[in-house]
Structure 1
Amino acid sequence: MPQKTDRLVTVFGGSGFIGRYLAQALFARGQRVRIAGREPRRAFFLKPLASVGQVQFAAADITDPTQAARAVQGSDAVINLVGILKGRFEAVHHHGAANVARAAAAAGVPVLVHVSAIGADPEAPSRYARTKGEGEQAVRSAFPAATIVRPSIAFGMEDHFVNRFASMARLLPVVPVIRGQWRLQPAHAADVARAIALAALDPRSHGGKTYELGGPQVLTMRELVGWIGERTGRGSKPILDIPDPIARLMAKLGGWLPGAPITWDQWLMLQKDNVVSESAAGFEAFGIAPSPLAAVAEGWLTAYRRSGRFAAKSPY
């Protein structure tokens, strides 16, 4: 059992994909954790993972300054994980991030970790990347000692990325790929969470710094889809590269439709690789050796094989 502390870490967006791993990382280190979100009940699944009295919940929408301020009261550290892939980018990524940073500063909270994304840039053409960059600027302005963490695309059992392509490989006769040459550096969600937790618990080492977290492999989208096919026993299915002009037209004309394969903003994001900058500090600053996809995927990709866990193991 980890030794409990009196420290309280408030996590905005703790019910999400990375949030569940972060909460467990903080629990393991004896921290009390307050999960703040618009719908607290979505995080109730974390209760059995914590010791008695180790987790609490607060209703808070970061786009409302008053709610953000109320949620950070009494905190020893604040972590903002909130992010969206479509919708009110400016309200959430920019103004919401600013609200959390200002609230933490006004409440005298000594530690703030803001989770952004690789590619965040206030001059970026995509609204996602642009508002992420604007959010970073707002956080730095309100809370100069904040730690900014920029993960690449995170993978894990509950992700909506690797699982999406595994499902396509299972259901479709061919697997379509948009921007097959696009490069990414996927990082295990548990590794990302550990780094965020360490940043929050060791502000002397990490305060005021910016980190980019990418896994040990750089893959093209086509390579990743092919690898997923091999791992799920669907490697014989052909991969269909969607030509850029057609994919661009799909995003431009139909990206606004519910369930569209790609939005216009996502198309703009795919024009720039999602990899760690050569000069950026990353996992090594936290003493973490990031896990490759192959080391952990076996635990959940078996569900996509024809015979499940009883199927023959892939040699790859």
Structure 2
Amino acid sequence: MTEILQTPKLVVVFGGSGFVGRHVVRALAKRGYRIRVACRRPDLAGHLQPLGNVSQIQPVQANVRVRWSVDHAVQGADHVVNLVGILYEGGRQRFGAVQDFGARAIAEAARSVGAGLTHVSALGASVDSESAYARTKALGEKAVLETIPNAVIYRPSINFGPEDGFFNRFAAMARLSPALPLLGGGETRLQPVYVGDVAEAIARSVDGAVEGGKIYELGGPKVLTFKECMQEMLAVIERKRLLISLPWWIARVQASILELLPKPLLTNDQVTQLQSDNVVSEEAIKEGRTFAAIGITPRTIGAILPSYLWRFRATGQFDQRRPAA
């Protein structure tokens, strides 16, 4: 009897060329899915090709602000993953346009082709937040659930891993500066989560192994203050630096100047976000909307940071304790 081979599911990943995206694409490729990466600059997505087999990963042009490009990108999709988000506004890239309007556009496009949807938001998202970033993230979640009630929504805390914009940034500063700033005294509580664990959670939702219609909060196994995060990072790169407390008002003055740059290191909206803790809520824990419900044990920063921050040590690649590649 002739065996009929089924074509692997097609997964469209919006924002798949970014930091989180490359890990999601890798996790999906390992499962054998066909992957279409929808991004604004597909010509800059060549780094994704080695993550899968020949022709398994296909970058296509799409802009969430342009509805027809979103509709075109999802044609034939079995599942859609939305990773699109911005940390600061610039030009036409506004929080509302990308994280609210864009989220609805992707959800409506996915519904039109009968595809499932996994939407990645952010811990701290709230329609009542003073932060435009957090507020539009929450509005995006609302738009998604109104459009596809059984969508899976993830709210990860600060993602860390190779190429992250958090520990790498401060480690680079520590290599050059004798001191590091602690905004508001560094007392804000964070729950850094390994990007590989977030990617695995997303892949499991594509597998159909995660209950939809819920908002899951994804945080690492340990809650740390901003100051403790800096201390952990400095211990890994083996450098001693002064940690200087920076009052919020001074941070806002600096942010007002820095946000005038094309790629600001700090904005007033980010200062607003840092004034609130970024940890998994008690409600999510009680209701089973965390990694535990997905069957994933998140990894610690102590287990992961040395694997990529070794390059910031004084001896760099020649450090005898550097993990093998």
TM-score by length of 1: 0.93
- Name the counterpart of 1:287: 295
Task: Select the residue among 188, 213, 216 that pairs with 2:218.
Answer: 213
Matched, 1:304 2:312: yes
Partner of 2:122: 117
Q: CA distance change for structure 1 residues 53 and 262 in 2, over 3 Å: closer, same or farther?
A: closer
Distance apart, 1:256 and its partner CA: 3.3
1:276 is aligned with what amino acid?
V
Deviation digits for residues 23-81 of structure 1, max 9, x if unmatched? 01001111111100111122221112211231112111011111111111100000000
**Structure 1 unaligned residues grouped into runs of 5+:** none
**For residues 58 and 305 of structure 1, do their structure 2 counterparts lie closer, same or farther at Cα, with a shift above 3 Å needed?**
same
Match of 1:160 in 2: 165
- Give SS of 2:266's match: coil
Match of 1:200 in 2: 206
Equivalent-residue separation in structure 1 for 2:126 and 2:6 (angstroms)? 39
Residue identity opposite 1:274 in structure 2: N
The counterpart of 1:97, out of the listed 100, 103, 118, is 103
Which residue of 1 is the match for residue 227 of structure 2? Answer: 222
2:74–2:110 CA contact under 8 A, matched in 1: yes
Give the conservation status (yes or no) of the 8 Å contact 1:182–1:220.
yes
Report the alpha carbon displacement of residue 20 of structure 1 after superposing the two structures with TM: 0.4
Identical aligned residues as a percent? 47
Give the Cα separation in 2 of the matches to 1:201 and 1:162: 31
Amino acid in structure 1 at the alignment position of 2:141: E
Secondary structure class of the residue paired with 1:128: helix
Cα distance, 1:124–1:78 mapped onto 2, change above 3 Å: same
How many residue pairs were aligned?
309
Q: What is the alpha-carbon distance in structure 2 between the residues aligned to residue 112 and residue 261 of structure 1?
A: 32
Query: In structure 1, which of residues 57, 65, 77 is the aligned counterpart of residue 67 of structure 2?
Result: 65
1:133 corresponds in structure 2 to 138
| Offset at residue 194 of structure 1 (A) | 0.4
Letter of the 2:102 counterpart: G
Matching residue's letter, 1:296: I
Distance apart, 1:251 and its partner CA: 2.8
* Residue pair 1:195, 1:286 contacting (<8 A) in 2 also: yes
Give the conservation status (yes or no) of the 8 Å contact 2:34–2:56.
yes
Whether 1:185 aligns to 2:191 is yes
The reply to whether residue 269 of structure 1 matches residue 277 of structure 2 is no
Contact 2:256 2:268 in 1 (8 A): yes
Q: Which runs of 4+ in 1 moved over 3 A?
A: 252-261, 309-314
Q: CA contact under 8 A between 2:189 and 2:279: conserved in structure 1?
A: yes
1:246 to 244, 250, 262: 250
CA distance in 1, matches of 2:39, 2:57: 14
Q: Which residue of 2 aligns with 1:232?
A: 237
Structure 2 stretches lacking a partner, 5+ long: none
SS of match in other structure, 1:206: coil
Structure 2 residue matching 1:279: 3-state secondary structure: helix
Following the alignment from structure 2 to structure 1, what is the Cα–Cα distance between the partners of residues 151 and 65?
19
Contact in 1 for aligned 2:233/2:305 (Cα 8 Å): no
